[in-house]
């Protein structure tokens, strides 16, 4: 399973830029650096070098290089960095030379972080933090990602896992000595069960967070709903100041949901324009409306847009609903939470304030530990196993089995258990060079 190839990848994106950084990690890092730059530079210091193609001695670039011997590197392997001039041809030439070097190959997305995890330099939650930090669009997302990258979740779950392992060890010791009759099963059970109950309470408390962490990662979902021609697309455009949605006076043109990401006071908000709600015989539009109803049911907040002369619609489901009168320039608008005009801008700031306030209620309220469904699922399974313990009192074999499964579920969070499949999924969404 161990991959001993030396990886390289541009770490600074693919366009034209002032500087392009190429990262190299693996056993051939020193060899390839010497081949390109002449001699091995002082470790962990930038050195100015002329880089030459080992194949023909032709000059590739003049730039800074860094040499970082393992294992005290981010991947745990020998690493080198080439800081090139950020031109497309410069980078292509160096990549060509690296590709030709024995033992070197281009890294796939997330390959460096994957090696960091497999070499024990970070756990899975910290790797997810790296991914989230790169994805972070807003301040609140950035801070959450940094906390996770810094180990907040990983350390907590590791501590819970240690506690569960201690409980398991005590139970297994009781099993081993059961024949000798010098440990009273019931007494031991009570002590273990009390500890397990405290562990269960702590994990449950972390889970009872209103999915703040997941929602912060995904963005607070706001769905624009209302009949065709209510002014949904125009309002979305006015808010995003982008031509993201098709605006047309013909009803039923917005068939697919259109999403616009907003940063409202550091909170990520996803504004979704949907197909208008009305009875229709057009199957394509009917599908769009079915999707609208699904999006509305899943939304954190529904903005029910009501044009002049229309009555506001009932919204079923559990989403919060804010009723918004549109086209307020045409009509004085009684009875709505808010009245807006996309044409004149009236009410738009109040509407954004209202959305921000809703997002603050949903996403604010303290730092969340759990930031992915994956964490929640594993922790919920752990709690479910701990919940079964009291019924197994006096049956240490059963207690041990549920504790073992609880330990296992906790191990999935940090990647001590079942790491490969999670890695494949996580790193498929990563950047090249990370």
Which residues sit at the interface with ligand GDP, rule CB under 6 A?
226, 228-234, 247-249, 254, 276, 326-327, 329-330, 341-343
Distances (CA, A) of 63 to 90, 97, 98, 344, 376: 11, 15, 16, 54, 46
| Structure tokens, 137 | 């669009």
- C-beta closer to ligand GDP: residue 141 or 233: 233
The smaller minimum CB distance to ligand GDP, of residues 181 and 249, is found at: 249
d(CA 171, CA 191): 10
The token pair at 347 is 């009410």
Q: How far apart are CA 95 and CA 89, in angstroms?
A: 10
Tokens standing for residue 70: 């393992």
Minimum Å distance from CB 343 to ligand GDP?
4
Half-sphere exposure (CA, 13 Å, Cβ side) for 253? 13
Which tokens sit at 279? 């009875």
Minimum Å gap between C-beta 251 and ligand GDP is: 6
Cβ-based neighbours of 30, under 8 Å, separated by 6 or more: 40, 67, 69, 78, 80
222 marked ligand binding residue: no
230 carries a ligand binding annotation = yes
The alpha carbons of the chain give a radius of gyration, in whole angstroms, of 28
The nearest distance, CB 297 to ligand GDP, in angstroms, is 19
Helix (H, G, I), strand (E, B) or coil at 292: helix
247 annotated as a binding-site residue: no
In the chain the first and final C-alpha atoms are separated, in Å, by 21
Q: Tell me: is residue 30 an annotated ligand-binding position.
A: no
Cα(31)–Cα(286) distance, integer angstroms: 62
Q: Is 55 exposed, middle or buried (0-12, 13-18, 19+ CB in 10 A)?
A: exposed
The answer to whether 121 is a known ligand-binding residue is yes
In angstroms, give the least distance from the CB of 250 to ligand GDP.
8
Closest to ligand GDP by CB, 134 vs 330, is 330
Nearer to ligand GDP, 224 or 431 (CB): 224
Judge residue 320's burial from the number of C-beta atoms within 10 Å of its C-beta, 0-12 exposed, 13-18 middle, 19 or more buried: middle
Q: How far is the CB of 242 from ligand GDP (least distance, A)?
A: 14
- CB nearer to ligand GDP: give 233 or 319: 233
Residue 344 C-beta: closest distance to ligand GDP, Å: 7
Q: Which is nearer to ligand GDP, 131 or 336 (CB)?
A: 336
Choose between 303 and 399: whose C-beta lies nearer to ligand GDP.
303
Question: What residues pair up with 339 in beta bridges, in sequence order?
Answer: 325
d(CA 28, CA 275): 55
Nearer to ligand GDP, 174 or 336 (CB): 336
Does 42 show up as a binding residue in the annotation? no
**Residue 380 DSSP SS3:** helix
Q: How far is the CB of 234 from ligand GDP (least distance, A)?
A: 3
Tokens of 225: 């709903």
Q: Rounded to the nearest whole angstrom, what is the least distance from the CB of residue 231 to ligand GDP in the complex?
A: 3
Q: Which residues are annotated as a binding site for Mg(2+)?
A: 233, 254
Q: Which residues are annotated as a binding site for (6S)-5-formyl-5,6,7,8-tetrahydrofolate?
A: 23, 81, 121, 434
Q: Which residues are annotated as a binding site?
A: 23, 81, 121, 229-234, 248-254, 273-276, 434
Q: Which residues are annotated as a binding site for K(+)?
A: 229, 248, 250, 253
């Amino acid at each position: 399973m161990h991959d001993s190839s030396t990886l390289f990848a541009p770490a600074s994106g693919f366009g034209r830029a002032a500087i392009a950084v190429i990262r190299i990690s693996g056993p051939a890092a020193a060899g390839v650096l010497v081949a390109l730059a002449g001699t091995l530079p002082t470790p962990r210091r930038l050195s100015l070098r002329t880089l030459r193609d080992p194949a023909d001695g032709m000059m590739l670039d003049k730039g800074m290089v860094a040499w970082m011997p393992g294992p005290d590197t981010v991947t745990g392997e020998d690493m080198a960095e080439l800081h090139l001039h950020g031109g497309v041809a410069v980078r292509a030439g160096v990549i060509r030379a690296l590709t030709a070097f024995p033992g070197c190959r281009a890294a796939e997305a997330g390959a460096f972080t994957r090696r960091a995890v497999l070499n024990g330099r970070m756990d899975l939650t910290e790797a997810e933090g790296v991914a989230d930090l790169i994805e972070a669009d807003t301040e609140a997302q950035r801070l959450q990602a940094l906390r996770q990258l810094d180990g907040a979740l990983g350390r907590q779950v590791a501590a819970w896992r240690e506690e569960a392992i201690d409980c398991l060890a005590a139970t297994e010791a009781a099993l081993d000595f059961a024949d000798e009759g010098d440990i009273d099963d019931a007494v031991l059970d009570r002590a273990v069960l009390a500890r397990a109950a405290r562990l269960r309470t702590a994990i449950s408390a972390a889970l009872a967070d209103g999915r703040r962490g997941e929602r912060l990662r995904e963005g607070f979902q706001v769905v624009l709903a209302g009949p065709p021609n209510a002014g949904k697309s125009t309002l979305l455009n006015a808010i995003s100041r982008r031509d993201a949605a098709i605006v047309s006076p013909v009803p039923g043109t917005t068939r697919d949901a259109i999403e616009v990401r907003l940063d409202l006071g550091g909170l990520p908000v996803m504004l979704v324009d949907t197909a208008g709600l009305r009875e229709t015989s057009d199957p394509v539009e009917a599908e769009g409306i079915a999707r609208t109803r699904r999006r509305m049911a899943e939304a954190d907040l529904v903005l029910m847009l009501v044009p002049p002369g229309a009555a506001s619609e009932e919204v079923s489901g559990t989403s919060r609903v804010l009723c918004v009168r549109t086209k307020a320039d045409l009509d004085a608008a009684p009875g709505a939470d808010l009245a807006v005009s996309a044409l004149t801008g009236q009410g738009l700031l109040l509407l954004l304030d209202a959305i921000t306030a809703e997002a603050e209620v949903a996403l604010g309220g303290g730092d969340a530990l759990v930031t992915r469904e994956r964490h929640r699922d594993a922790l919920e399974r752990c709690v479910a196993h701990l919940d079964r313990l009291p019924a197994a009192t006096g049956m240490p074999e059963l207690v041990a089995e549920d504790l073992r499964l609880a330990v296992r579920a906790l191990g999935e969070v940090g990647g001590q258990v079942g790491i490969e499949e999670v890695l494949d999924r996580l790193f498929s969404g990563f950047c090249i060079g990370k």
